[in-house]
Structure 1
Amino acid sequence: MLRRRNPPRPRTPAEPYADRLSRVRALLGRRRLDGYLVLDRMDQYWLTGFTGEDGGVLVTDSAVVLLTDGRFEEAADLEAPWARRVIRRKRGPDSIARVLKRYKLRRVGFEPAHMNVELHAELRKLVRRARLVPGRDLIGQMRLCKDEFEIAAIRRAIHVAQQAFELVRRWVAPGRSERQIAARLSYELQRRGAQGPAFAPIVAAGANASRPHYQPGDARIRAGDGVLIDWGARVGWYVSDLTRMVWPASMPRSIGRIYNVVKEAHDRAIAVLRPGVKASAVDRVARQTIGRAGFGKRFNHALGHGIGLSVHEGPRLGRGAEGRLRPGMVVTIEPGVYLPGQGGVRIESDVLVTESGCEVLSTLPY
């Protein structure tokens, strides 16, 4: 049983949602679709501003329907009062099927990455008159280039992340544990207005820094350790993603050469960032710089990725990446060198691709 709650009066969405919905509706026409079903939470937020979990959004040429449950009914009223709400009483394909039938849709686009095989099979049985047409990450492609609202939100997320880090950097000292530093960083992010960390902070001391996605533990910092800190803030649902190295004392001479190589790779990659450049070409510049120094096999991940509502989204900057950079993309540049048993160095910045080049949004020294 479904209960539909209509708003007290018709309203149209404010920007930026009106423009985004117009783009989706233009896509419906080009692909001869009657509607588009969006099940990914971040895609839903991008389209409507609705923050509810475990729901869906159906876009047709004349309606936007939020499918949610009673926990988020008030949020739907506040965040997307112009949309039609369908409040379901239980989870499952039945509620989605009823909405598709109600609008008499024949060709419905969807994102295969966000619909499992079981749900797809059930919907095909329940809505026999509708054909489900895979969209191949169409919303994700629209999210690649950020609009002015998104860029402003990412700037705020970077600002909060940097403020928190500046304080925690001074707090890093021999005897403190990785876990203590990660907890303090998460606290300082929220104290400065973040919804929380963009992801669980990575704090890797000494030899632990040889693992790029290390999880902080109880290891305590020693005087000669380098500490790799990878963190970000989520502010207004948008994220930042940064990495810096911290030395409680001076940088050991043995690490100095590696650090300079990583710094050079980072700076050279940023120097070639501009519209039209292949994402793989930017990765290649950093990889060749590290390779010439003799550490090529120790740079074992892609150079970077897009950020926005998600910490990892398109475009990918790595070997084999076919896409070209476009104005409005916000990407990380994060080369690293990792030596098992010794430690590692990574430097990461957040960079906006502009009409004529790029702008490094993060301003922390490195």
Structure 2
Amino acid sequence: MASPHSSQPPVAINRRIQSCQEKIRLGGLDAFLVTNRVDQFYLTEFDGEDGAALVLPSRVYLLTDGRFAEEAERTAPWATAVVRTGSLKDSLAKLTRRHRIRKLGFQPEHMSVAALGDLRKAVGPTKLKPLPRAVSSLRLTKDKPEVAAIREAIRIAETAFRTVVRRMRLGMTELDIAANLLFQMTRLGARGASFPIIVAEGPNSSLPHAKPGGRRIGAGSALLIDWGAVVDGYCSDLTRVVFVRRIPPRFRRMYENVLAAQLEAIRAIRAGVRMCDVDAKARRLLAKRGMGRRFTHGLGHGLGLDIHEAPRLAKEVTDRLELGMVVTVEPGVYFPGIGGVRIEDDVLVTEAGARVLTSLPKELDAMVVQARP
């Protein structure tokens, strides 16, 4: 069952579809099958758990099942919804015959060998052609609605953080703090956390992706918190280290060096700069201060509909930054048995250089919290 077009897509969505259709034209294709759920949302704003988008030069089909028929009609009334009763491949076979599609592009990075084999059998004479990164390459730079959504995700994450830190008490566990952060973000309007929240006290903070547990905070605790919110599908990603009542001497030196490295890297961000060169700014500074070997990961990553997406700020990536990219900048150092420090902000690449979208304080003295008993 197919529903007819009822309106034009929003301006931003229309631009994205047109860019995708241009890739179809340049690839010599008659249509392009989008099976990745996030890419489907990017092109249509429909994110039903069961779905695919078929992009033709002059129209878009949304293929889903009856559970999401109403959602498809609400979120993308301008697209033609095909509510399938059989398999996805059978619905696609019917559409390829109806539109005489001779060359169909697909996302090789999001299709298994088994699924590709089944699709090839179903569409018969239609030739399948891989079109890698056709949508993810469009997602590299953000348009105004995307930046606005990321900004709102940041605002909610920061507001929640301030509330949680203000209400922090001695004896609370890492899990208590993580749960409070999630509650505050959802109360403020977030769909949820953009990834499992990291709260790591003391020696646990030497694990870059520590899982919160029953470790309790006390006077003198160093607490690494890495968190983010999801708003309208878009993610924020922040990290701060707070110190309960006083700053342990070893953490003071770590913090000062990581903050200096982050500021150095942010100053280097502008369109046209190689991503490896931005990473090198932070890495060289930490090396000069004797902590280079303790910086064990890349400097940052792209941020958008996925919490980790292209581009990457890393020593092996020679691609260049472009206007409109949103990236994290998050140097860190980690000392097993002692702890670690990571400071993370979200940055938009503009004509003037780096625009830091996050606004939480990060000066060392501002990170001391007076948790009550």
Give the TM-score, by structure 2 length. 0.95
**Percent identical:** 46
Instruction: Return 5+ residue gaps in structure 1 as ranges.
Output: none
Residue 124 of structure 1: how far off its partner (Å): 1.1
Indicate the SS of the match to 2:241. Answer: strand
* Residue of structure 1 aligned with 2:121, choices 122, 125, 131: 125
* Residue of structure 1 aligned with 2:208, choices 212, 217, 222: 212
Distance (whole Å) between structure 2 residues aligned to residue 234 and residue 83 of structure 1: 25
Q: Give the 3 Å change call, closer, same or farther, for CA 55–281 of structure 1 in structure 2.
A: same
* Residue of structure 1 aligned with 2:247, choices 247, 251, 256: 251
* Residue of structure 1 aligned with 2:232, choices 232, 236, 240: 236
Residue 98 of structure 1: how far off its partner (Å): 2.9
- Structure 1 residues 122-201: aligned runs within 5 Å: 122-201=118-197
AA at the equivalent of 1:219: R
Residue 298 of structure 1: how far off its partner (Å): 1.1
Contact conserved, 2:50 with 2:68, CA < 8 A, in 1?
A: no
Residue 93 of structure 1: how far off its partner (Å): 2.9
Distance (whole Å) between structure 1 residues aligned to residue 86 and residue 238 of structure 2: 40
Distance (whole Å) between structure 2 residues aligned to residue 342 and residue 299 of structure 1: 15
* Residue of structure 2 aligned with 1:5, choices 3, 15, 18: 3
Name 1:26's counterpart in structure 2.
22
Q: Give the 3 Å change call, closer, same or farther, for CA 251–90 of structure 1 in structure 2.
A: farther
Residue 297 of structure 1: how far off its partner (Å): 1.5
AA at the equivalent of 1:5: S
Give the TM-score, by structure 1 length. 0.96
Residue 301 of structure 1: how far off its partner (Å): 0.8
Distance (whole Å) between structure 1 residues aligned to residue 191 and residue 229 of structure 2: 8
TM-superposition CA deviations, 1:135-184 (whole Å, max 9, x none): 11120010000001111111111111100000111233331111111000
Indicate the SS of the match to 2:341. Answer: strand
- Number of residue pairs matched? 362
Name 2:47's counterpart in structure 1.
51
Distance (whole Å) between structure 1 residues aligned to residue 20 and residue 241 of structure 2: 42
**RMSD over aligned Cα atoms:** 1.2
Distance (whole Å) between structure 2 residues aligned to residue 96 and residue 339 of structure 1: 54
Contact conserved, 1:173 with 1:248, CA < 8 A, in 2?
A: no
Distance (whole Å) between structure 2 residues aligned to residue 91 and residue 128 of structure 1: 16
* Residue of structure 1 aligned with 2:34, choices 33, 38, 63: 38
AA at the equivalent of 1:342: I
Residue 127 of structure 1: how far off its partner (Å): 1.3
Residue 222 of structure 1: how far off its partner (Å): 2.7
Contact conserved, 1:172 with 1:248, CA < 8 A, in 2?
A: no
Distance (whole Å) between structure 1 residues aligned to residue 87 and residue 333 of structure 2: 46
Distance (whole Å) between structure 2 residues aligned to residue 316 and residue 341 of structure 1: 29
Distance (whole Å) between structure 1 residues aligned to residue 203 and residue 96 of structure 2: 55
Contact conserved, 2:63 with 2:88, CA < 8 A, in 1?
A: no
AA at the equivalent of 2:265: A
Contact conserved, 1:168 with 1:181, CA < 8 A, in 2?
A: yes
Residue 30 of structure 1: how far off its partner (Å): 1.1
Distance (whole Å) between structure 1 residues aligned to residue 290 and residue 95 of structure 2: 59
TM-superposition CA deviations, 1:185-235 (whole Å, max 9, x none): 000001111111111110011100000011111111232220100000101
Instruction: Return 5+ residue gaps in structure 2 as ranges.
Output: 363-373
Residue 254 of structure 1: how far off its partner (Å): 1.6
